[in-house]
């Protein structure tokens, strides 16, 4: 009787051991790499104008030609496509002729979003000007040309 009981115990103990033998098991493939994060939604310029001033978040006295006595100009931009709560920035890059004279970083807090930058324009800086709206990576989203004193 004890011999039968010993044999049964031996068989019972060997069963789970045989089930745990991994010497012939296939190696599991490495997990797939994590999917690339989706790119941030593209910011789109819905409106971009040069103006004399902004009142109640709206551009006033917009135009493409300004007198050399203007003193200060405002570049107003309305953008869409920026996710709310995410850190998103655009740049207003001001040029007199082909010379960059200012680069203003502006934070965008949602969509749609209105923002603007100001530039003092000396009376002797006459001629062609342009402003580029750029995303954080430097890609030009919009260009607006205008003149001063002509």
pLDDT recorded at residue 42: 83
| Tokens 């530039």 found at | 119
Number of domains in the chain: 1
Q: Report residue 83's pLDDT band, with 50, 70 and 90 as the boundaries.
A: confident
pLDDT recorded at residue 85: 80
Query: What CATH number does residue 63 fall under?
Result: 2.60.40.1930
Residue 94 lies in a domain: yes
CB 103 within 8 A of CB 60: no
pLDDT recorded at residue 35: 55
Average pLDDT of the segment spanning 120-137: 95
Residue 30 lies in a domain: no
Residue 22 lies in a domain: no
Average pLDDT of the segment spanning 72-82: 95
Nearest CA-CA partner of 73 in 97, 100, 101, 53: 53
Structural domain span for residue 63? 44-148
pLDDT recorded at residue 8: 46
3-state secondary structure of 72: strand
Q: Which are the contacts of 20, defined by CB distance < 8 A and separation ≥ 6?
A: none
Residue 61 lies in a domain: yes
pLDDT recorded at residue 9: 47
3-state secondary structure of 5: helix
Residue 84 lies in a domain: yes
Model pLDDT for residues 6-42, shown as the tens digit of each residue? 554 445 555 554 444 545 555 556 666 655 555 555 8
Average pLDDT of the segment spanning 130-150: 95
């Amino acid at each position: 009787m004890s011999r039968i009981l010993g044999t049964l115990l031996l068989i019972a103990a060997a069963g789970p051991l045989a089930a745990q033998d991994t010497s012939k098991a296939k190696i599991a493939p490495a997990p797939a790499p994590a999917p690339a994060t989706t790119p941030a939604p593209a910011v789109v310029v819905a409106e971009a104008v040069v103006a004399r001033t902004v009142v109640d978040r709206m551009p006033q006295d917009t135009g493409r030609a300004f007198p050399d006595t203007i003193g200060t100009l405002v570049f107003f931009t309305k953008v869409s496509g920026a996710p709310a709560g995410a850190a998103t920035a655009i740049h207003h890059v001001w040029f007199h002729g082909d010379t960059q004279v200012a680069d203003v970083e502006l934070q965008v807090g949602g969509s749609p979003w209105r923002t603007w930058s100001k530039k003092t324009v000396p009376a002797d800086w006459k001629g062609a000007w342009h402003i580029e709206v750029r995303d954080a990576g430097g890609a030009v989203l919009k260009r607006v040309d205008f003149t001063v004193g002509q």
